[in-house]
């Protein structure tokens, strides 16, 4: 997931500290917001298919719920750490605040590798995770959702277990459910589309027409696929994608100078977003090292995989042609690399703004579930467009008015809103 020397939580705290200085926050507010309100660490015992017995470690971190119930996904990953979960929970707090939805920030995770687990074993992990935190989550307290290597099926198992424990139907407990089981139309597209809604607005500010731009994308999971789909729909051309290869335990970049064919690549992609290398070669794609995506001579970079991907070690490999970086992933750019991008004048759409489409649509699903009602897909996506566009304009206007870097402007808005909620509640 990241190098041993990288600590996502320390990075998240450093980003917060910078903005706390800009806002001149008092020490009490700083102490409250730079750490989670609550954490749950627990063991999940599972009887494996081969008859053995294995214990998995799980987490749920609730960073701040001053503005509403906690909201945040659950990751299954073999390199998961509690510090990564802490960072993601903090970023969720800022993400919900910047798009003005009445939710706080949480995150969950389990140290496991779904690639090597049967469906039954994964189901037992899901149900075990819920049993450990059922008293501390719920539709009006903390609402989970899918994240890296978890799916609608995982969410449904978790919902079923929660309802068994509660003894009542509670579809608003979790989001990212199958559409026929209380999920929201438009949810699968939401994060990727949200990235492109903000990218569209950034291109307008830079007087760039989408049809005159090219992009390189890291990742080929749900976020990347739908970002590519909408970007191509508005006229853009993606020439390179990078993804993890489970067979070789490494990543590769797939390039086609004339532009990738999204449907063609999706036809040779597994459920974890891994592209079949041999088939890609047959279809005329150049197969390059995994980090080649960042070196492409394009106008736009869209990192949509995991954290710690644009660093001081590779930031200078970014082409001078790159005008925009739209962060589809959480925490893909380290502070050292961010400083270089700022100095170069690259327009960075920060992660907790660019990828807030997912949590925004999760909020829509939560509302629909609590009402026992659903909206049509076009209604959901139009509401999402309005929310994302409004949030982008608010951040961009503040950045211009106060001559701030976009990331700093987004943080100023988010942290100010959360700090105000904490003060008004009398917490600090």
Catalytic residues: 107
186: left (phi over 0), alpha (psi -120 to 50) or beta: left
Pairing between β-strand 237-245 and β-strand 104-111 as defined by DSSP bridges: unpaired
CA distances from 242 to 96, 236, 286, 308, 311 (A): 28, 18, 11, 15, 17
Residue 220 · residue 249 · CB < 8 Å: no
345: left (phi over 0), alpha (psi -120 to 50) or beta: left
Pairing between β-strand 237-245 and β-strand 214-218 as defined by DSSP bridges: parallel
- Among 133, 104, 107, which residue's Cα sits nearest to residue 425? 104
Residue 84 · residue 6 · CB < 8 Å: no
Token output for 209? 């027409």
- Residue 108 has what DSSP assignment? E
- Among 123, 109, 171, which residue's Cα sits nearest to residue 368? 171
**DSSP H or E segment with residue 227:** helix 222-233
Residue 307 · residue 2 · CB < 8 Å: yes
């Amino acid at each position: 997931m990241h190098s041993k020397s990288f600590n996502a939580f320390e990075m998240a705290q450093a980003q917060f500290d910078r903005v706390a200085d800009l806002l001149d926050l008092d020490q009490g507010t700083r102490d409250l917001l730079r750490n989670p309100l609550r954490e749950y660490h627990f063991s999940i015992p599972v009887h494996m298919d081969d008859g053995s017995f294995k214990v998995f470690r799980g987490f749920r971190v609730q960073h701040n719920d001053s503005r509403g119930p906690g909201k945040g996904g659950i990751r299954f990953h073999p390199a998961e750490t509690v510090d990564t979960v802490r960072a993601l929970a903090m970023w969720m707090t800022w993400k919900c605040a910047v798009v003005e939805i009445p939710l706080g920030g949480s995150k969950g995770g389990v140290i496991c590798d779904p690639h090597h687990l049967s469906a039954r074993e994964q189901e037992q992990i899901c149900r075990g995770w819920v049993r450990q935190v059922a008293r501390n989550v719920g539709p009006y307290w903390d609402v989970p959702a899918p994240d890296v290597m978890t799916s609608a099926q995982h969410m449904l198992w978790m919902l079923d277990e929660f309802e068994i424990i509660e003894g009542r139907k509670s579809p608003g407990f979790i989001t990212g459910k199958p559409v026929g089981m209380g999920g929201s139309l438009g949810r699968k597209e939401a994060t990727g589309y949200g990235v492109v809604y903000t990218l569209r607005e950034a291109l307008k500010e830079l007087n760039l027409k989408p049809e005159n731009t090219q992009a390189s994308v890291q990742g080929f999971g749900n976020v990347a696929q739908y970002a590519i789909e909408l970007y191509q729909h508005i006229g853009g051309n993606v020439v390179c994608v990078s993804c993890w290869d489970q067979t070789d335990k490494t990543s590769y970049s797939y390039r086609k100078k004339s532009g990738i064919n999204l449907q063609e690549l999706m036809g040779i992609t597994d459920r974890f977003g891994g592209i079949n290398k041999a088939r890609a070669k047959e279809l005329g794609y150049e197969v390059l090292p995994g980090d080649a995506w960042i070196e492409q001579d394009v106008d736009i970079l869209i990192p949509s995989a995991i954290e710690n991907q644009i660093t001081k070690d590779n930031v200078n490999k970014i082409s001078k042609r790159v005008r925009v970086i739209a962060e589809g992933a959480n925490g893909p750019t380290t502070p050292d690399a961010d400083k270089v991008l700022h100095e170069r004048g690259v327009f960075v759409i920060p992660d907790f703004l660019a990828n807030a489409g997912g949590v925004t649509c999760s909020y829509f699903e939560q509302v629909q579930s609590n009402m026992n009602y659903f909206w049509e897909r076009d209604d959901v996506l139009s509401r999402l467009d309005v929310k994302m566009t409004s949030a982008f304009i608010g951040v961009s206007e503040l950045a211009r008015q106060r001559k701030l870097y976009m990331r700093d402007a987004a943080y100023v808005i988010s942290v100010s809103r959360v700090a105000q909620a904490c003060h008004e509640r009398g917490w600090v």
